[in-house]
Chain A
Amino acid sequence: MKFFFLIFLISIISISAQETNFELDLFSKENRQKFGDHLFCKSDYLRAIEEYRHYLELESNDTSAFKLAFSYAEIGRFNEAEDNFKTLFFSSEFSEEAKYEFFRVQFLKHDFEKLRSTLKLNTYLPTKYYDNIKKLEYYSTLLDENYFTDTTKYFNLFSNREKIEARNFYTDTYFPQKKDPTLAAILSIIPGLGKVYTENYGDAVTAFLYSTLLTYAAIDNYSAGHKTRGIILGSLGAAFYAGNIYGSYTSAQIFNAKISLNIDQNLVRYLDSVNLFAPVYDFLCGK
């Protein structure tokens, strides 16, 4: 009786121990993979890479290989990401996804020329995600200053909602409402008018008041016989007048720079919000 009670007791302890710590070798390939997956889903990509690398040295696994490449891309190690995605291009169950990610990495690298030239290689093109890549190609043309293309062939790829954004970004990029700095300078012959043109109204009023009032005070003093004061005020008036012209020129340049910056920022924000048209991968974190 005592014996069976002892057996029962040991069983209970063992089972509860199993509940707590079943794994013995924390560095076995299975545990490396499990821990790597855990780190990957916690976005700790740098550490996940180490685990996957050790695991993949011992066993071949497409999911882990994909995650390894994906981790490289997430931490900005694009060349390693490219190389690792390439290993999955053929005879892998994630061949299509790897090919898409390969192009996404090109986009993230801003290597738009390579992206467009690689698109010509049919063996690299994923049929499943062809449209997604063409969308990336379209946006790459907007971000690439040295490339201008016909848009009509791209717009049909987008959904109705995406199409509106695609058209807006196209108009903003290629036909921005910029100001001409030379025109702004010429308009400033009438003090402040150049600043009105660049929509800098506060500065326009200041430029007008300072230039006209100082010029008037200079003439008034000079004609009243206060030559020194007239010269000082006249010099100040001339400085303000010259500053008003130069200021209008730079104001137009600043206006244009702001427009370009805003377009780029909005574009990047939009592309982030649509995650570069990336598909949702259920196999990554079991979502």
Chain B
Amino acid sequence: MQLIVGVDGSDYGLRALEESLERAQELGGGVTVALYTDGQEGLDEIESLVSEELSAYEMDVEIVRLEDQPGSQLIELAEREGFDRIVLPGGRRSPLGKINLSNTIEFVLLNAQTTVTLVR
């Protein structure tokens, strides 16, 4: 099972990463991390959070950065390299707790031919 996991700066971004790593450890297979942002956080900031999380796992994980149009880049990458599944953060919570899906998540959900998992 080859997973590509999109990680943004949201809480659910790190949850998506953790879930993917756990899944890959159980089932075997690899994880590729695609960093993107559609919030306030910069890619460097997100990458350092990701590195910290990865240090708890003994896994060889490739990290790619998606700079603009991350949704379409993610889909292309998943199709080109034959990933079995795209894993994404399950949105962001507003101040009063409503889930909002970013344009990136919506784009991937509507356009991917790969199965997509949203993690909460």
Partners in one complex: no
User: Which residues of chain B have a CB within 8 Å of any CB of chain A?
Assistant: none
